[in-house]
């Protein structure tokens, strides 16, 4: 999404638009932490670069997320929003090395935290990193902002009759095999009873409305206790 219509590199309009969305959150008393993907630079190499081993490909992807976080933090600063980049891989000249207590202190001080370099280990997705960080720093809700406006029972791009869920439990997501997030992320959220909202960023203010409890996107909720 940071790549704009071309989908690659940095798109100025996209960066400024999304920085404005975060500034709007902060203006309404909401301090978010952010996990950005790296797809605008690198989407893996298993197909077109077979010589690159999986763990090295994942390392390149982690570096892509650091580039995105550093660039986006600059656009937040330009909006007057205090922001700090935390990296799961130590690179002190570029970002603060991630520690749970350090990140929590920054959030409590009203600083927007950008968590980069995934979990710091290969074989884990951005989804997994998002779920892990949300739980570690004590977020109230995990929001997956994408180009799709919620969770459907089929791919809405391929099936015009696909049905959107307003609310669905983690168990139902797993039972149906819905591609909301990867299995590790869904399991982490389920076991820690972390509320999840899946929504589209196409509409201005969508994340703020979700944080304010408005009906938007799809809410993935904890299962009822047995």
Question: 87-118 burial, b if ≥16 CB within 10 A, otherwise e?
Answer: bbbeeeeebbebeeeebeebbeeebbbbbbbb
* Same domain? 32 vs 50: yes
**9 and 92 share one domain:** yes
Number of domains, the chain? 2
Domain that holds residue 67: 1-139
CATH code at position 217: 3.40.1160.10
Same domain (yes/no): 24, 92: yes
Q: Is the dihedral of CA 216, 106, 2, 122 positive or negative?
A: negative
Same domain for 14 and 116, yes or no, is: yes
List the chain pLDDT tens, one digit each, 226 residues: 899 999 899 999 999 999 999 999 999 999 999 999 999 999 876 678 889 999 999 999 999 999 999 999 999 999 999 999 999 999 999 999 999 999 999 999 999 999 999 999 999 999 999 999 999 999 999 999 988 899 999 988 889 899 999 999 999 999 999 988 999 999 999 999 999 999 998 888 999 999 999 999 999 998 765 4
Confidence at residue 226, expressed as pLDDT on a 0 to 100 scale:
47
């Amino acid at each position: 999404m940071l790549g704009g219509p071309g989908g690659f590199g940095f798109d100025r309009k996209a960066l400024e638009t999304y920085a404005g969305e975060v500034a709007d959150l902060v203006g309404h008393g909401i301090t978010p932490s952010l996990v950005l993907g790296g797809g605008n630079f690198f989407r893996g190499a298993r197909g077109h670069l077979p010589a690159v081993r999986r763990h090295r490909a994942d390392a390149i992807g982690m570096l892509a997320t650091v580039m995105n976080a550093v660039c986006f933090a600059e656009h937040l600063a330009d909006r007057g929003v205090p922001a700090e980049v935390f990296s799961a891989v130590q690179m002190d000249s570029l970002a603060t090395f991630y520690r749970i207590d350090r990140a929590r202190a920054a959030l409590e001080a009203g600083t927007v935290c950008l968590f980069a370099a995934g979990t710091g280990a290969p074989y884990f997705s951005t989804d997994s990193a998002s779920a892990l960080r949300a739980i570690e720093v004590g977020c109230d809700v995990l929001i997956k902002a994408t180009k799709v406006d919620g969770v459907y029972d089929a791919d809405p791009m391929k099936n015009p009759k696909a049905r959107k869920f307003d609310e669905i439990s983690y168990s139902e997501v797993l039972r149906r095999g819905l591609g909301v997030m990867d299995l590790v992320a869904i399991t982490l959220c389920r076991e820690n009873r972390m509320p999840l909202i899946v929504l589209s960023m196409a509409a201005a203010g969508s994340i703020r409305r979700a944080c304010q409890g408005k009906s938007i996107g799809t809410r993935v909720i904890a299962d009822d206790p047995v």
